[in-house]
Amino acid sequence: MTHPVKTGSQVQRQFVNFACYKLDPAFRRLDSSTKESARKELIETLNTRIEGLLCLSYSVTGLRPDVDFILWRISLSPDVFQQQTRMINKTVLGGYLSTPHSFLSMTKRSMYIDKVDPFHTHESRTHIVPGRRKYLFVYPFVKTRPWYLLPMEKRQEAMDNHIRVGNKYPSVKLNTTYSFGLDDQDFVVAFETDEPKDFLDLVMELRETEASLYTQRDTPMFTAIQMPIEQVLDLMF
């Protein structure tokens, strides 16, 4: 697992990647022996420890047509993501996997002050500790350009209400990471919870906040369930 590294008074930020994989249906038509051998090979590959990499697996099978599973990867360098991807690509099963979506981002201190949550710390935003809840809801997020032209005071005022709504749902943990200049979106937001109903109610209520007026795009949205890669593959074929 990657931990925050302090350089002087600075905390080294993490790179975050959500790699979404889709299985080619042709793989399911292979004989049972070939499929089982390929399954074991990929499990061994993903369970191989890579220094500096935290990787969690989530199943999306049956929940969206374009993605079967997601790897949530965190490291201090994107080189590590490429290293693991190369390992996956070299497997037999990797030859039947495509990545219709992949989101790259970094942790960063929020520019908005959370006046409601007394336990909020800047360092907590630069160091993600994921995987403590069953469900993951993740999507790219883009704000309109007029949002960034608002005075900081106006943005903080709008976010105050946004934050108040979020803090009404303590069962839902928000992980916000930043993609400016790294990927197509502004942010990648990942919500973790054991109570999907709370997340649904939270998103509905957030639609009524002023800040939501400045949302340009917040799709595609993925509902994923955390489980070991062995169970992920068992659901796929």
Mean pLDDT for the stretch of residues 184-195: 98
10 Å Cβ neighbour count for 81? 22
Assign a CATH topology to domain 6-105+225-236.
Alpha-Beta Plaits (3.30.70)
The pLDDT of residue 127 is 82
Q: Which pLDDT band, with edges at 50, 70 and 90, does 125 fall under?
A: low
Query: What single DSSP character describes residue 210?
Result: G
Phi, psi of 170 (to 5 degrees): -65, -15
Residues 6+ apart with CB under 8 A from 206: 162, 165, 166, 212
70 bridge partner residues: 20, 58
Assign a CATH topology to domain 127-222.
Alpha-Beta Plaits (3.30.70)
The pLDDT of residue 131 is 86
The pLDDT of residue 117 is 55
Q: What is the pLDDT of residues 168-183, one digit of tens each?
A: 999 999 999 999 999 9
The domain locations on the chain are: 6-105+225-236, 127-222
Q: What is the pLDDT of residues 57-100, one digit of tens each?
A: 999 999 999 999 999 999 999 999 999 999 999 999 999 999 99
- What is the identity of the amino acid at 183? D
Mean pLDDT for the stretch of residues 116-144: 78
Mean pLDDT for the stretch of residues 7-18: 78
pTM here is 0.90
- Return d(Cα 47, Cα 145) in angstroms, integer: 42
Q: Which residue has the tokens 């002050």?
A: 113
Q: Which pLDDT band, with edges at 50, 70 and 90, does 119 fall under?
A: very low
